Chain A
Amino acid sequence: MIYKRLTTLMLIFTAVFIFSSCGDKKSSGPNISEDAASRVYVPPGKYDEFYSFVSGGFSGQLAVYGLPSGRLFRVIPVFSVDPEKGWGYTEETKPMLMTTHGFIPWDDSHHSELSMTDGVPDGRWIFINGNNTPRIARIDLKTFRTAEIIEIPNSAGNHSSPFTTENSEYVVAGTRFSIPIKEKDVPISSYTEKFNGTVSFVKVDPKSGNMSVAFQIMSPPFDYDLSHAGKNASHDWFFFSCYNTEQAHTLLEVNASQKDKDFIMAVNWKKAEEYVAQGKAKDYSADYYHNTYSDETHSATSEVLKTVKVLDPKDCPGMIYYIPCPKSPHGCDVDPSGEYIVGGGKLATVIPVFSFTKMLKAIEGKQFDGEIGGIPVIKYEAALHGEVQKPGLGPLHTEFDDKGYAYTSMFVSSEVVKWDIKKLEVVDRAPSYYSVGHIMIPGGDSKKPWGKYLVVMNKITKDRFLPTGPELTQSAQLYDITGDKMKLLLDFPTIGEPHYAQGIIADLVSKNSVKIFKIGENKNPYVTKSPNDVKVERKGNEIHVYMTMIRSHFTPDNIEGIKLGDVVYFHVTNLEQDWDIPHGFAVKGLMNSEMLIMPGETQTIKWEPKEVGVYPFYCTDFCSALHQEMQGYIRVSPANANIQISFSTGK
């Protein structure tokens, strides 16, 4: 009897033990640093050491986090409208989202890339690509706002973008989807004859940052995936990975996975510049939009450009070479020295590392395996430095530290692998939760990585956070990489799908951050610089309200004489010159969005009232003790009413 009871008790204990240990295993994982909490803790009022700019993927935005805390500071609207800020809704910002397809409120923003000086991030601008409707945006890090968006002609799926050369001479764009370029309306089955890929070199003005498409290079219909510029000795070169060299146009999952090797395309962009200067480029007619936002006029303007210069590799010997790379490569990453080019073949069982010096020798010695579309294919072994054996499954993307190590994400085996670049030996591996895509070390794709932290951006979240129904948060993880072993410090949620990120020491950016716009320098055509200058004007059925806002009132705040059928434009100027005192503006029945107006800024929102009545408007951003009192009324009368325009405040 006693034995039986003891046995039952033991069974219960065993069961409890198993269950509890299961619980432990689920919520943490190995390799957690013992001092993880203190390593990521940034005390109240203290600053993070790094800014990180994490792409928002299908949100079309760019998110700014602090490292090591993982705290979210700001979501910068780029390719997608943002009703919170009025981005894409105010008259001033609408032109930023204009394309040849019309106004587009969304895109898929994949890769963020900081501007560089001497191969090191300089903290001036950050570029990001729009994948779906091919575009590149430049964000000004003085204001953390999108300053410019340029559409890329002759392109589809702008994926291998917007990586930049050592002094941001160029940012690039490469087609993930080849398309028919010369004739547009062709059978899909004519893919191999009529379709082409292109890579574009977009010139960046070193002072203003303004972008212009300098030239495009026509290529066979491969799918260009990612790219990186050379450094030091390889400064003149740009490397693009590509897949679907099978040239499939259907069921790519199978048909584009047949060859053992695809390519890394090496482009000598200095040579390309020479060919353009020699007049080898042909002018193609192609409409594309170029939208710029001015901090002086606080408004955007669009121009439509009509031609683009296109180089054909057949006419340009010595400009482009293909290097075979196993298999369907994604990442195409250049180490800090500029000597080693690492391919991340998603379906490969090794990580190939190419040597720039060997590549040049192979070109010199003409060690080619034929050519494709006029582009010589270098012999694999001739350019190869070596292969990392058994690194894991699904190598995707490689970043570098400042101690001669490379870190490669393994999507399929869900881990990060650290390896010695020269010896090609794996020295450590750390699991990710789950299925890591891209990774980021601050400065990790530059000449001088700040090799302290590694951010891992995961594709799958599953059970890492409290569940939120079928749609879960996206997630990133932070690892300490200062020691021999990578140590997991932190999980943090992200917006959109975090495809790619950049990190930079905070000082380089924070010192330039703008606090207010000077009202005296406001050149918006609809600015009102003093409450004494406010007015309401009728132009046919257009009503222009020139309004000011300052704590805690609008001038004017009583407006009459609007008639049904009128289109009302509220041109609202925030007169504050005080740090962090934006005001918001919304009127009942506004069908687009609110406006959030920074100190010294003017923004305009269009309102078309649908019914007769008196409509309240108010400040939406809690600004002061009398924020609730910051309100007004606008009266809308019948179309045939005989009521003149009148306006007032405090009467």
Chain B
Amino acid sequence: MKKISKILIIAAALSLVTGFFLPLWDISLEAPQYPEGLGMKIWVNKISGDLQTINGLNHYIGMKTIEPDSIKELSIMPYILGFLVITGILTGFAGRKKLLAVWVLIFVIAGIAGGVDFYMWEYDYGHNLNPEAAIKVPGMNYQPPLIGSKELLNFVAHSYPDTAGIIIIISGILSVCVLLFENISSRKLKVSEVKNETKVEKESIKFTADKSVRSGFIMQQ
């Protein structure tokens, strides 16, 4: 690994530490009678915000109470994040490309798994409704969006990454870029040997643009 790559990977790993101090995700609700705003923030180990009010409102449509104590992810996530920080720093110091590939892979998988888990959690809360609820709208579910905005009865729900979430996503992209850069620079060396530089350079640009190809590319390495 080049020196710059080492520094970037250590920086990326260290930036994940913000996840222990700042919220990862923000879900906010908008309605005319809530001019002051209503929302909750998901942290690595807790959920903050107007949880009690949201639970109070949700009981009308039969949604389960959101109880941070019963969400097991909140007790697992700090360890995953801590693992990524420590192994990331070690990878940077070790400076070995294979280790880098493994670390980035774990990082990306953890990210995807987190997203899938979050979606499933939202699906469960939005669909698994108490049949005795006071308000029943046929065909209606209350699953908030994974990312973006969605109208749910009198509310518009917005779901977006919060500060630490944005930092972690940038850190992830940065790590993938470092991995690609490392591979391209080594490929470049090989390619320059066969004097066919321009063609592969174009190819490499294609690689950075296409994520699905990128992961396949890593696998091949």
Residues of A within 8 A of B (CB): 515, 550-551, 576-579, 624-626, 629
Contacts and interface: CB of A to CB of B under 8 A. Distances in A.
Given A577-B50, A577-B53, 15 more contacts: A515-B36, A551-B57, A551-B60, A576-B53, A576-B56, A577-B52, A578-B52, A578-B53, A579-B36, A624-B60, A625-B134, A625-B135, A626-B60, A626-B134, A629-B134
Contact of B56 (A551, A625, A629): A551
Nearest to B154: A625
Contacts of A578: 50, 52-53, 56
Nearest to B36: A579
Which 10 residue pairs of A and B lie closest in terms of their CB atoms, listed nearest first?
Answer: A578-B53, A577-B52, A551-B56, A626-B134, A579-B36, A577-B53, A550-B56, A578-B56, A576-B56, A626-B60
Contacts of A550: 56
A164 to B, nearest CB: 34
B60 A625 contact: yes
A516 B50 CA distance: 13
A626 B52 CA distance: 18
B102 to A, nearest CB: 46
A626 B57 CA distance: 11
Interface in B96-126: none
Interface in B7-57: 36, 50, 52-53, 56-57
A310 B134 CA distance: 67
Contacts of B134: 625-626, 629
A414 to B, nearest CB: 44
Contacts of B60: 551, 624-626
Contacts of A626: 60, 134
B65 to A, nearest CB: 12
Contacts of B135: 625
A545 to B, nearest CB: 22
Contacts of A625: 60, 134-135
22 contacts: A515-B36, A550-B56, A551-B56, A551-B57, A551-B60, A576-B53, A576-B56, A577-B50, A577-B52, A577-B53, A578-B50, A578-B52, A578-B53, A578-B56, A579-B36, A624-B60, A625-B60, A625-B134, A625-B135, A626-B60, A626-B134, A629-B134
A624 B33 CA distance: 11
Contacts of A551: 56-57, 60
B56 to A, nearest CB: 6
A619 to B, nearest CB: 14
A551 B57 CA distance: 8
Interface string B127-141: 000000011000000
A624 B50 CA distance: 18
A577 B52 CA distance: 7
A12 to B, nearest CB: 57
B138 to A, nearest CB: 18
A603 to B, nearest CB: 20
A625 B59 CA distance: 12
Nearest to A519: B52
A512 to B, nearest CB: 16
Interface in B36-94: 36, 50, 52-53, 56-57, 60
Nearest to A650: B132
A515 B53 CA distance: 14
A551 B135 CA distance: 14
Contacts of A577: 50, 52-53
Contacts of A515: 36
A577 B54 CA distance: 10
Nearest to B59: A551
A363 to B, nearest CB: 57
Contacts of A576: 53, 56
A599 to B, nearest CB: 10
B48 to A, nearest CB: 13
A324 B53 CA distance: 64
B38 to A, nearest CB: 8
Nearest to B134: A626
A578 B58 CA distance: 14
Contacts of B53: 576-578
Contacts of A624: 60
A518 to B, nearest CB: 11
A576 B56 CA distance: 8
A550 B56 CA distance: 8
A492 B125 CA distance: 52
Contacts of B56: 550-551, 576, 578
Nearest to A578: B53
A578 B39 CA distance: 12
